[in-house]
Structures are given as C-alpha cells and as structure tokens.
Chains A and B, each alone.
Chain A
C-alpha cells in the first residue's frame, strides 16, 4: 500500500501552523480578518479581501448563507446582499481561487454545514482544495454530529476548526479541542457574531486555560473584537484574533478597510 504523502493530508494544517508560528516569533497574536464572500459585490469583494489578505496572518472568508443562525445582524445583512448579488457557495470558492492568485496567505472558509451537504461533502472538499483553501470553520457543526467530515477534509489537505463557547463544559471543550486539526476557535461571549459595546475579556481567560489543557493546537478568539483596544486585550491571551463584523461595518460605511486592518493588526502585537 502506498501511503498518502504526508504533505497532501497536512497541507492546510501545516500552512496554518506556520502562520501562527511566524506571528508568535514576531511577538504577535495572529491577525485573522473575516469577510463575507461576494460582499458588497463580487468585484469589490476582490479589492476588500485583497486589502485584508495583505495584512492578515490568516484570512477567513464566509460563505453567504440564507439562514445564518450564529450570526448577528451585520453578517446576516452582508450575507443577504452577497446572495442577492449572485454569490452563493460555489461562487465563493471561485472568489477564493482568484484571491489565491494574488497572495499566498492562508485562507480558511467559514460555512454553515448545509451548503457543504447540498454540494456534497466530497465535492465541496474537492472544490475547496482546488481553490487553494487551507481549512474550514464549521460554526453549526458540533464535531460529534458528523464523524466523517474531518477525515474527508484531511483527505483534501484541509484543516478543520470547531468552536467552543463560554458555556462549554470541560467534557465538551475536550471533545471539541481533540476534533480540531487546524486551530480551536473560542467564542468570546454567549451570543452571535457582531461588534459590541463594552466587549471585554470576560470569560475568555478561563476558557483559554481550559482549552489549553486539551488543545495541542493554537486557540483563536472571536466574536465582538471591534478595534485595536479590544484586539490588544485578546492578543495578550490568545494565539489569534478574529475580526469580522467591524470590517463589514467599515465596508458598509465606505471607510478605508486597509487603514482599519492596519490598526487592528497593530493591536495584535503583544
């Protein structure tokens, strides 16, 4: 039996871990901006995502979904607008492929599970691999709900990330941490995505302590990071900082996304 070359199954994992290691060596938490695929439209997505990618350690691209039950109003509206503009599941992967031609920074796809099932898990993984995707973040798939998805992803060189929340029990944290191959994603608040007033560390240090007991992986924190100050707080304790809604708000308001990204990237310095 010919063994699959290690690099094929670990490609995404290795590239992601290298990105974290690089940031760590430079005294930073990894800066992980998020943008909804095809928002505000396919052409401008290319520009905005390009600006973010140039400043990111890892970039997160969301597949627009009609029923995003883990997202607050900002990402809901961005998804609706992207879908209305004709960007759905396959098109988002094509947009990633286009981005990939300009920049080699790791890209992960954030998607609800239904689009993966609708396209067909194997077909979806194949398309993602071809587009140059490095990993998947699955916000509505607790890892014990689908025991095949992580293996299927690995066969296509994709890392998988599941989420933990402030409500997670030690047993759940262990289960989720062990299922993640790329990095573990800690949700900072009990709630949906979105920039909030007064979002602070809260339960994050306790969660991270727990997560690190089980996770041999980097742990990133997201939900509610909106400016350099909040990023700075999170960067002290986490391996990576995810910022999403703040960039969508900036695009919606016509503000300079690159400048905001510079500010937030600087906030990730320890």
Chain B
C-alpha cells in the first residue's frame, strides 16, 4: 500500500457504522451484570438517551461529524508503535504500543467525550456535567464543551483536586466550572455520586457525559462503542505492519475500564482460538492482600454501584470500601459490567499490578522509549513486559498506552523522592 509508505495510512477511523456487539441484551445486561439501578427519576432520561443514541449511530451525518472531529481535532488515527527497545529489554514477544497518549488532550478519554457532546447537542441539551478522577475525563469533557459551545460543570473529589491541580486549572481555563466533592472519600466514586445527584436534579436540560464503561444502561454500551475505535484501528494498523489483524495478546489498564474495553471489545467476541489473550491490569495498590488497592475482580464480590451490577469492593454489609491506587484514574471500587462478563466467561483475564510495579513501568518506558506514560497506563506497561518475556519472538503483544504522563510528573517526583529517602535511611541503618 503506497499510502502506508508515506507514514500516513489512509485509515478511515470511524467506520461508517459504529461496530455492533452481541451484548448487552435488551435489558442492558451482560449476563447478570449491568442493568439500571437508579432512582426512578432517571429512567425516562435513560430511555431518551438510549433512543437518541440508537438513532445517532445510524445517522451518516452524526458519524461523519464524529469522524471529522476525531481526525482533525483529536488527530486520529494515532500510531501503533513498535517499542523496539522495550521489546529488546523484555526479550520475548514484540511489543506494540497503541498511542492513545498522542490524542489531543493526552488520553483516550476524548474519543468518548466528543461523541457524547455531539449527541448532547443533537438532543438539544445545552448543559454538560461530568465526573472526573485524574482529571483527564474532566479536561476532555471541558474541551468538547468548549468546542461545541456547551456549558460544562465537572465534579471532582477534593482529594483528587489536590493530586491533579494542573488539570483543575486546565478545566477552568477551558471555561468549565469545577465543583469540589467532599462527601465520602472525596475521590472518583464520590464525584460520580455527585454528578448523578446533579443529573437527578436537572435531568430535563442536562446531559451527563459519563467517562467510563460504568453507570446505568446505556452508558457502558455507548462508551464502549465510542472507545472501540481504538481496537478497530489496531486491526487495520497491525494488518499493515505485520500482515495480520489480530495480535497474540492485548494488555490494558482497568479502573472502570473504558480504555481496556475500547481495545478489547473488537477482539473479545472472536471465536475461541482466534481471540487474542486479553489482559486487564487492575490497580493492586500496596498489594491485594493489604486491602489498600482498587482491584475489584481480585476483591471477588459482586454488588451495585452507580446504577450497575459489577465486581465491587464492598464489605459484607454492602458498604463500599474506599479504594486505593497510585493513579487517580484507577482509584475506583468497581469495574464495568462488560469486563465482569468477560472475566466470568474467561474471555479476558484480570491481573493485579501494584503501585510500585507501575512506578517501575513508568520509568522503564520513559528511559527506553522516551515516552512518559500516565501512571494508569504504566500498570499495563509493567505487566506487558513480564508477559512478553514469556512469549516467543514471533508473537505480538499490543499495549494500550491510554494516556501520557505529564499530569503525573509532580506526583511521580514526590513518590520517587520519598522512596529515595527511604533507601537512604535504610542504608544508614545498615551502616
């Protein structure tokens, strides 16, 4: 293909029809997971959203507009990049990086935000609300709102506002109002509660842009569909580079799970034997035995949060256990219902990766490839290196590099200084 040689593949990034997947069922379920556990006030709004979305995804005008924005505003397609030095370091399978970090605003979140904001506009809703953890979804929502001339309020936990102060300012610069959330643990789950409460209150004229594959139906399906551009691009790009469209393994980090579902879903429903290994890395924090983590599948209990049944970190009385992760974007006590289904059906595996491993992964990729990944994505990098090491050189691992690490640099500096100080103390004691 001559275009490929120019380094600019003529890739139509959003196929004219959004891919359709076998799930959810008519009731918004993935097996027993998913559903709509929300106050009755929201049910008509969810019905309205579902109908509007079903109509939009078949409307060439909507798809063309989205296609144009993803191409010209976001800069898609981003590259599928062979990480040669990382591959050499691992000494096994080839490692490709799907460079969602190259997207405008620095992460995969913009794929979904632009699409939902377009849908909001189509539905005649002028007010956008959103929740955010690390701030990436908040920034992407504020960006989409500015671009399309909509007002935007972002709910963010006070603790996260401290950890991600730069993103708070970016949202404000973009004209969004950032409302601090102080209830509960003052992190992503509480910001989501507050956004839902705000939606319940102003449901008639407000559009809620949910940032992950969680929440009541149709959100998990809609967000997946809008993020599946990631996996669809991988198929085409891998075909160009390697002469086959399906890799042997795909690794992605999972909090709620939007970047992971975006790269998994286009492969997940392949027949067994053709399906690549799909591996989601959960945030194991200080370790899954410590209780200080955000690894919902490893936690092993099922419950209901934010309108959906899923694997959930809750105690035996149903109270949500505050999660912990080094990365604000993975600091969520649940995992999207479709991931739960994949896990139960053996279509994907979910493995824990600790704070320390993620921090190592971040440094490794930075030194070997000159790419500073987001702390979230560093969880996937860390595991992919271990995995590739056990695989054959002719095999291929694709890692979803879901976001860039600029937002984390201050936090990483603090953490590295802390661990250096600890090491120094340790040496003094030994001496």
Pairwise interchain contact B301-A118, C-beta atoms closer than 8 A: yes
Pairwise interchain contact A113-B319, C-beta atoms closer than 8 A: no
B318 located at the interface, meaning its Cβ lies under 8 Å from any Cβ of chain A in the complex? yes
A248 located at the interface, meaning its Cβ lies under 8 Å from any Cβ of chain B in the complex? no
State in angstroms the CA–CA spacing of A139 and B319 once bound together: 16
Interfacial residues of chain B within 28-43, with CB under 8 A of chain A in the complex: 35-43
Quote the shortest CB–CB distance from B34 to chain A (angstroms).
10
Interfacial residues of chain B within 168-204, with CB under 8 A of chain A in the complex: 183-184, 189-190, 193, 196-197, 200-204
Q: How many residues of A contact B (CB 8 A)?
A: 44
Query: How would residues 156 to 195 of chain A score, 1 for a CB under 8 Å from any chain B CB and 0 otherwise?
Result: 0000001111111100100010000000000100111000
A115 located at the interface, meaning its Cβ lies under 8 Å from any Cβ of chain B in the complex? yes
Q: Please name all residues of chain A whose beta carbon is closer than 8 Å to the beta carbon of B43 when the two chains form the complex.
A: 142, 167-168, 172
Return the 3 tightest CB-CB contacts between A and B, nearest first. A118-B318, A115-B318, A165-B41
Cβ-neighbour of B316 out of A119, A167, A190 (below 8 A) = A119
Q: Please name all residues of chain A whose beta carbon is closer than 8 Å to the beta carbon of B316 when the two chains form the complex.
A: 118-119
Pairwise interchain contact B40-A176, C-beta atoms closer than 8 A: yes
Query: How would residues 192 to 209 of chain A score, 1 for a CB under 8 Å from any chain B CB and 0 otherwise?
Result: 100000000000000000
Q: Which residue of A lies closest to B183 (CB)?
A: A76
Given A80-B183, A113-B304, A190-B200, A169 and B44 touching (CB < 8 A)?
Answer: yes
A89 located at the interface, meaning its Cβ lies under 8 Å from any Cβ of chain B in the complex? yes
Cβ-neighbour of B37 out of A88, A89, A141, A163 (below 8 A) = A141
State in angstroms the CA–CA spacing of A68 and B306 once bound together: 10
Given A66-B319, A66-B320, A117 and B303 touching (CB < 8 A)?
Answer: yes
Query: How would residues 59 to 80 of chain A score, 1 for a CB under 8 Å from any chain B CB and 0 otherwise?
Result: 0000001111111110011001
Pairwise interchain contact B41-A167, C-beta atoms closer than 8 A: yes
Interfacial residues of chain B within 295-322, with CB under 8 A of chain A in the complex: 301-307, 312, 314-320
- CB<8 Å pairs between A and B, sample of 26: A65-B319, A66-B184, A67-B305, A69-B38, A70-B197, A70-B200, A71-B197, A88-B315, A89-B317, A115-B319, A117-B304, A118-B315, A118-B317, A118-B318, A118-B319, A140-B39, A140-B307, A142-B38, A163-B39, A163-B40, A165-B40, A166-B41, A167-B41, A187-B40, A192-B197, A192-B200
A145 located at the interface, meaning its Cβ lies under 8 Å from any Cβ of chain B in the complex? yes
State in angstroms the CA–CA spacing of A112 and B38 once bound together: 10
Cβ-neighbour of A115 out of B36, B190, B317 (below 8 A) = B317
Pairwise interchain contact A116-B318, C-beta atoms closer than 8 A: yes
Query: How would residues 20 to 31 of chain A score, 1 for a CB under 8 Å from any chain B CB and 0 otherwise?
Result: 000000000000
B268 located at the interface, meaning its Cβ lies under 8 Å from any Cβ of chain A in the complex? no
State in angstroms the CA–CA spacing of A114 and B42 once bound together: 18
Pairwise interchain contact A90-B317, C-beta atoms closer than 8 A: yes
Given A118-B303, A167-B44, A191 and B318 touching (CB < 8 A)?
Answer: no
Q: Which residue of B lies closest to A77 (CB)?
A: B183
Given A69-B306, A80-B184, A167-B203, A113 and B44 touching (CB < 8 A)?
Answer: no
**Which of B183, B302, B319: most chain A CB closer than 10 A?**
B319
Quote the shortest CB–CB distance from A34 to chain B (angstroms).
16
State in angstroms the CA–CA spacing of A66 and B312 once bound together: 13
Q: Which residue of B lies closest to A72 (CB)?
A: B197
A83 located at the interface, meaning its Cβ lies under 8 Å from any Cβ of chain B in the complex? yes
Q: Please name all residues of chain B whose beta carbon is closer than 8 Å to the beta carbon of A89 when the two chains form the complex.
A: 317-319
State in angstroms the CA–CA spacing of A54 and B381 once bound together: 63
Quote the shortest CB–CB distance from A220 to chain B (angstroms).
14
Cβ-neighbour of B38 out of A71, A88, A140 (below 8 A) = A140
- On A, residues with C-beta under 8 Å from B are 65-73, 76-77, 80, 83, 88-90, 112-119, 139-142, 144-145, 162-169, 172, 176, 187, 190-192
Q: Please name all residues of chain B whose beta carbon is closer than 8 Å to the beta carbon of A141 when the two chains form the complex.
A: 37
Pairwise interchain contact B201-A191, C-beta atoms closer than 8 A: yes
State in angstroms the CA–CA spacing of A90 and B318 once bound together: 10
Q: Please name all residues of chain A whose beta carbon is closer than 8 Å to the beta carbon of B37 when the two chains form the complex.
A: 113, 140-142, 145
Pairwise interchain contact B35-A118, C-beta atoms closer than 8 A: no
Q: Which residue of A lies closest to B28 (CB)?
A: A145
Pairwise interchain contact A168-B201, C-beta atoms closer than 8 A: no
Pairwise interchain contact A114-B314, C-beta atoms closer than 8 A: yes
Q: Please name all residues of chain B whose beta carbon is closer than 8 Å to the beta carbon of A165 when the two chains form the complex.
A: 39-41
Given A162-B40, A165-B41, A168-B40, A145 and B35 touching (CB < 8 A)?
Answer: yes
B292 located at the interface, meaning its Cβ lies under 8 Å from any Cβ of chain A in the complex? no
Q: Which residue of A lies closest to B314 (CB)?
A: A118
State in angstroms the CA–CA spacing of A72 and B183 once bound together: 11
Q: Which residue of A lies closest to B301 (CB)?
A: A118
State in angstroms the CA–CA spacing of A69 and B204 once bound together: 18
Pairwise interchain contact B318-A114, C-beta atoms closer than 8 A: yes
Pairwise interchain contact A190-B304, C-beta atoms closer than 8 A: no
Q: Please name all residues of chain A whose beta carbon is closer than 8 Å to the beta carbon of B317 when the two chains form the complex.
A: 88-90, 115, 118-119
Q: Please name all residues of chain A whose beta carbon is closer than 8 Å to the beta carbon of B314 when the two chains form the complex.
A: 114, 118
Q: Please name all residues of chain B whose beta carbon is closer than 8 Å to the beta carbon of A168 when the two chains form the complex.
A: 40-41, 43-44
State in angstroms the CA–CA spacing of A192 and B305 once bound together: 17
State in angstroms the CA–CA spacing of A114 and B203 once bound together: 24
Quote the shortest CB–CB distance from A118 to chain B (angstroms).
3
**Which of B35, B304, B316: most chain A CB closer than 10 A?**
B304
Q: Which residue of A lies closest to B197 (CB)?
A: A192
State in angstroms the CA–CA spacing of A77 and B183 once bound together: 8
B45 located at the interface, meaning its Cβ lies under 8 Å from any Cβ of chain A in the complex? yes
Q: Please name all residues of chain A whose beta carbon is closer than 8 Å to the beta carbon of B44 when the two chains form the complex.
A: 167-169, 172
Q: Which residue of A lies closest to B309 (CB)?
A: A117
Pairwise interchain contact A65-B40, C-beta atoms closer than 8 A: no
State in angstroms the CA–CA spacing of A115 and B318 once bound together: 4
Pairwise interchain contact A142-B36, C-beta atoms closer than 8 A: yes
